[in-house]
Amino acid sequence: MSASPGPSSPFLDETKALACVHCGLCLGSCPTYLETGNENDSPRGRIYLMRSIQAGRTPLAGQAVRHLDLCLGCRACETACPSGVEYGHLLEATRDHIERNFSRSTFQTFLRRVAIERVFPYPWRMQLALLPALLLKRLHFDSWLPKSIREMLALVPHDCSRAAIPEISPVDAGTTKCGRVGFISGCVMSVMFGRTHQSSVRLLNSSGFEVVTPRSQVCCGALYAHGGNLEQARANARINIELFERLQLDAVIINAAGCGSTLKDYGSLLSHDPAWAERARRFSALVKDLSEFLAAQPSDSSPVPARRDAQRHSPRVTFHDACHLAHAQRITKPPRDLIRGIAGRNFVELTEADLCCGSAGSYNLTEPEMAGRLQERKAKNIIHSGAEIVITTNPGCILQLQAGLTKAGAHHIRVMHIADYLAEAMSSEE
């Protein structure tokens, strides 16, 4: 580990950092502060650290980096903040600075620069990397491995599905066409949640939308932006903007909350580039989370049947807010409206529904100890709700909740993506 001497070259927008008035109203929303009680693990403590590193008062070394690494990037502090502090942007700029100037251990460097940046964003590489993991699990050899590796393998589901979706999916026969939307296939989603993609496209087609899924799209850049590699995130954003703007679309649909927040942030990511700023803003304005888009459609065009709560065996359902939907995109009502439309009185609210589950992109790989504590906390709340199904909107959350509920012995609770829940309800009426 190395320390950087003296004041740093400016990486932080000081005006944005000074928007924090240290009121502390965000502390109760911050998962890491709730767990450690340490002010340095709170939003205002971290903003103070960021400014202190920039000013050269705190060296870029062990403890300071630890407190910043421990941040989930969940942005719950932004939702709670009355001063409108753009914490997510401050964190991304600081992480970019850390990755350029701080030497990590060999294991952390491999994990961040190779596994997360060179494998995850490429579906075929990821599929290859998953093969040994799936084999170890099937043969039950995982119990022989060290705990840290076992924890990682626990996240890999037994039933990864890479079901391909066509480049163009027309509206259903007999359905009036309402428009044409693009579809972001993503990285983790396309390798592990192929069936969820099929459900998503089916819901859109049944609602009257032709769906275009360009083959040459690339990772949205979220993994890079959150991991401290803003240049690569910007490069990917430019490729996607160029590709999708040629297609003359009414909207660009994403069913993964973490990717959605980055796609909606392209305008800000490229705001310093005059050649791209306006194009990026236009692209971001088209991006809609699947739940946000479906809930905004007129109810008479909805393919999903309403109110099954009268059915005797209708299961009790709850909802976990993915941080990047609830906090980064401020979307909480649309998914609940869609679920309530089916579950009716069998929908129950989850205690701490919008508190991070510990997944946070690749956080559960880089910070397994804190991720495990938050996973356990979430699993307890889900079990306490009495729900038989927990629904969410992000692949990372699904994997984290599944592993947490398995660890807690709650094998009877199903974790579902909202697209699968809605598509299943639609099938039951057909």
In 3-state terms, what secondary structure has residue 41? helix
State the DSSP code for 299: G
Rule CB under 6 A: is residue 336 a binding residue for ligand SF4?
Answer: no
44 vs 340, beta carbon nearer ligand SF4: 44
Q: How far is the CB of 193 from ligand SF4 (least distance, A)?
A: 25
Binding residues among 47-106 for ligand SF4 as defined by CB under 6 A: 71-77, 80-81, 83, 85, 87
Q: How far is the CB of 120 from ligand SF4 (least distance, A)?
A: 21
CA atoms of 229 and 112, how far apart (whole Å):
10
CA atoms of 106 and 306, how far apart (whole Å):
53
Written as six digits, the tokens of 335 are 């998914």
Rule CB under 6 A: is residue 326 a binding residue for ligand SF4?
Answer: no
3 vs 19, beta carbon nearer ligand SF4: 19
22 vs 307, beta carbon nearer ligand SF4: 22
In this structure, are strands 179-183 and 251-254 parallel, antiparallel, or unpaired? Answer: parallel
Q: Which stretch binds ligand SF4 (CB under 6 A): 29-37, 52-60, 201-209, 422-430?
A: 29-37
| Side chain identity at residue 310, one-letter code | A
Q: Are 401 and 392 spatial neighbours (Cβ–Cβ below 8 Å)?
A: yes
Residues pairing with 212 in the sheet: 168, 182
Rule CB under 6 A: is residue 43 a binding residue for ligand SF4?
Answer: yes
In 3-state terms, what secondary structure has residue 103? coil
Which residue in the set 8, 11, 17, 32 belongs to the binding site for ligand SF4 (CB under 6 A)? 32
Q: How far is the CB of 17 from ligand SF4 (least distance, A)?
A: 10
11 vs 347, beta carbon nearer ligand SF4: 11
**Separation of CA 271 from chain center:** 23
CA atoms of 47 and 35, how far apart (whole Å):
19
CA atoms of 178 and 170, how far apart (whole Å):
11
Q: What's the sign of the alpha-carbon dihedral 340, 345, 351, 357?
A: negative
Rule CB under 6 A: is residue 374 a binding residue for ligand SF4?
Answer: no
Q: How far is the CB of 51 from ligand SF4 (least distance, A)?
A: 12
Rule CB under 6 A: is residue 24 a binding residue for ligand SF4?
Answer: yes
Rule CB under 6 A: is residue 21 a binding residue for ligand SF4?
Answer: yes
75 vs 104, beta carbon nearer ligand SF4: 75
- Determine the size of the site formed for ligand SF4 (CB under 6 A): 26
